[in-house]
Chains A and B, each alone.
Chain A
């Protein structure tokens, strides 16, 4: 299919982009990597009056380091993040997750800002950024605000982003001493979306895991922090987390539903399998030290 007609503008500065956004609001759409937006347009699932292409805004494409965090410009490509030495050192969870996103062609174009703005319930990075406690900078003409990743995702394909805003930057706290990350997902095909996945980050010692953030994707409308599961895990020695309690907690935390790739039952089963894989990884990671 062909997209419905739209106007196309490619602003040269962020100010110009924000001004366009202010003027067109709900009748505009931001074009980043285009890997979700363009297919939606082409299938006429979505249309807009004005497409604002932000690919020319070099200010949004940097990956920088400050004292206790790294800042990723919204149009940082998956591929740039995957190969960034800063990310590898300070936010290894992102580096673990990115190879699981689509195929190389998609990772060459797709952006971190596009991924979180799209808020696909099956996407990897929203879950990772929640697990890492990232903060998002949202700009509108004349002002800016920061929002925690956990509060940004409000529903299936829904976010806290207003029509006149642009997501400009993502701040990820640097890995602290003793903290470990784990990432696992299960997909029908290597190059497709996962049926269920988990991003985990916490302080791992030889006895236990503390300060754990364990966030599932593919199970709920938004990335789901598994609070009950976390308290079961944190509440006992890492080597003997009681399986029955773990499974019961997961059943409380997650609310999967059926779709064409798998039933709710299957996704819940996978969440259990993945949780064990995360724990096994923490145990062996600790053993390496």
Chain B
């Protein structure tokens, strides 16, 4: 692949690349004309509600469905045995996570339920309300079993074993040992040990998980409307487990109201909905309510990490060591597993630093809580919290400024290509430039003065810095090699119509972040047309090229490149026709603003509508041996690097009220480098939205369980999300280091905000508390934890 060259259309003056343009779909959504899965209403459609286990671990002795089946409007009452006849179970492991084990999971629990909220019985009725009425008539006889809640106790001698077939509660364990950690600790001036805790939270989607399955037995066709991030993956999975050929399953994903990784998994209740439609031969709708979302959506980030860092007297970090524990619920999620967070913690910790000595262990255990798996910025918030926590620990131990210690230890901008101690390949990053930019942006020197003056008045303010790396543009190494039906490539089909307008069908999906806008910008720029002449189609497995969907910060970098290449290919096809019609050389022509022009002087030769008219209505006027092709498809997958790392740094200035433990943000800045910026506003929105989700995890969000494994705060009034009044203005700046693997040069930006926010906030709190001798290391950093760190309560 070549990088930007002079005749590259992507980067000529009127290109859309690098420009903020409005989202074509914003008006529709703001007018209330969005089309979400729940807006799908089909003839003969029925609704399903699920009886979910009220216990975290209990044997199902008997299910009495007699009353429920007679209730008004009820169509079917189905239990785990019934559904198992049409929907095969699954096991959430991947081949490349060696040694990983998990138990068979069914769409509805059979024999026993293993978390509070696991679906046990499905009630199908003419309305959801009637299904819920009937649900109250089902009687289940339970035998309550001992529960496993604490992740470390899960491997204890006397721990209840959740799945006997597995022998113990260990899901997976991996270790890493690079360089010579032992020697580094032996010679270190200071060794700092700390335990960091990241508590469980979840991604709360404004639109809850929703699916309508419509099986037509006359042609054996299953049509599924689903709020999902990965239509083709879901197509494969539904086909496999219901026993249909893939081409008999069509997944349609219309508007999605937020997904954040929550909608990239296969859920038992969604499998059950599809199976019910297959059994009943009619459309079945399932829309999760808020309570069941809290109980059944993927949770994430429940980790305890013991860390050790070695530093020399002059501030050189010479070793990192971590021991990471995580409890992931009773089953590994399907098909991505529940081990990726731990894997990323193990692989990415310390990755922005030069240090070559790194030792780590990750332990993933089963427990009786809601399953955990990938949520926006998978593992990164933990990685960044512990890495940047350790670096601040080291700085404090030797009395060095936090910016200074980072400057000394970050991988230098001229050192690329290189690798991390754990072996991650880095093509090109910009840690030093980003740090310099942040220092100016946040006005670091002034803040230090303000902080000192405030302390004089008994006001405690702190600066927190967190550099980070972010994994984007994942290639086949993430899932494909492990055997999951998850494609890393994406495809785009671009078609010129008879009026000279263009339709683009692409494998990524739109979930509110503007993917369709980015794709339109890429095609418009590559092809030479205006944005208003493009329509982008996403989210339909019958229509779009095969693609991975939207996750792993891959939309712009991978689908964007496929769109560029498809646009270029169509341009060549069009210019070939134009050259024939104009009796000139294709090389002498170009396309600009929907016209074929002279390459040399820009003179307009013919509108694209004329190309469309001739090719479709008067092909007889073209030479007999020439066939025009006004459709082009291109696919793209990164091959050289397993993923494109990006980098950046977040900085914040906060004030801690030492009486209440509450935090006020005074400044929040982010510098990030996602390579080529296609649409600055959309990138900034991604960063800001990501930071807000990071603030949620840092200060508010926590799935709290009691020791019976019951979720204590599964409502929006008790599970605290940050609201507009809780978040600061977030200033965003960019460094652009394009990847040379693609022509577009874009890397991902979707997760950078989330990945480093908690670390920046933790470091700021600890900087503020340092004169009081207190320190917080457990997320969320609640008033309670802050006050007890400084001995106020």
Question: Which residue numbers of A lie inside 8 Å of B, CB to CB?
Answer: 1-5, 39, 43-44, 103, 186, 188-193, 195, 260-263, 265-266, 269-270, 273
Contacts and interface: CB of A to CB of B under 8 A. Distances in A.
B129 interface: yes
A254 B134 CA distance: 44
A189 B700 contact: yes
A44 B49 CA distance: 14
A198 B206 CA distance: 34
A260 B712 contact: yes
B707 interface: no
Contact of A192 (B717, B784, B787): B717
Contacts, number: 63
Given A1-B289, A269-B793, A190 B725 contact: yes
A2 B132 contact: yes
B704 interface: yes
B783 A262 contact: yes
A190 B792 contact: no
Contacts of B128: 2
Contacts of A261: 718, 720
B133 A191 contact: no
Contacts of B722: 189
B720 A266 contact: no
Given A188-B720, A189-B720, A195-B783, 19 more contacts: A2-B127, A2-B132, A4-B136, A5-B129, A186-B783, A189-B722, A189-B726, A190-B723, A190-B726, A191-B723, A192-B717, A260-B712, A260-B718, A262-B782, A262-B784, A265-B793, A266-B783, A266-B787, A273-B659
Contacts of A195: 783
Majority-rule SS of A interface residues: loop
Contacts of A2: 127-129, 132
A135 to B, nearest CB: 31
B40 interface: no
A186 B657 CA distance: 11
Contact of A266 (B136, B289, B712, B793): B793
B713 to A, nearest CB: 5
A191 B716 CA distance: 12
> A-B pairs with the 9 shortest C-beta distances?
A2-B129, A190-B725, A260-B713, A269-B793, A1-B289, A273-B659, A265-B793, A266-B784, A260-B712
B681 interface: no
A263 B713 CA distance: 15
Contacts of A4: 132-133, 136
B133 A5 contact: yes
Contacts of A270: 660
Contacts of B606: none
Nearest to A272: B659
B715 interface: yes
B712 A193 contact: no
B380 to A, nearest CB: 25
A189 to B, nearest CB: 5
B660 A186 contact: yes
Interface string B274-295: 0000000000000001010000
Contacts of A193: 717
B424 interface: no
Given A1-B289, A186-B662, A189-B726, A269 B787 contact: yes
B784 A263 contact: yes
Interface in B705-759: 712-713, 715, 717-718, 720, 722-723, 725-726
Contacts of A265: 793
B73 to A, nearest CB: 11
Contacts of A273: 659-660
Among B291, B660, B713, B792, chain A packs the most CB atoms within 10 A around the CB of B660
B704 A43 contact: no
A222 to B, nearest CB: 20
A40 B787 CA distance: 34
Among A43, A191, A261, chain B packs the most CB atoms within 10 A around the CB of A261
Contacts of B660: 186, 270, 273
A261 B720 CA distance: 9
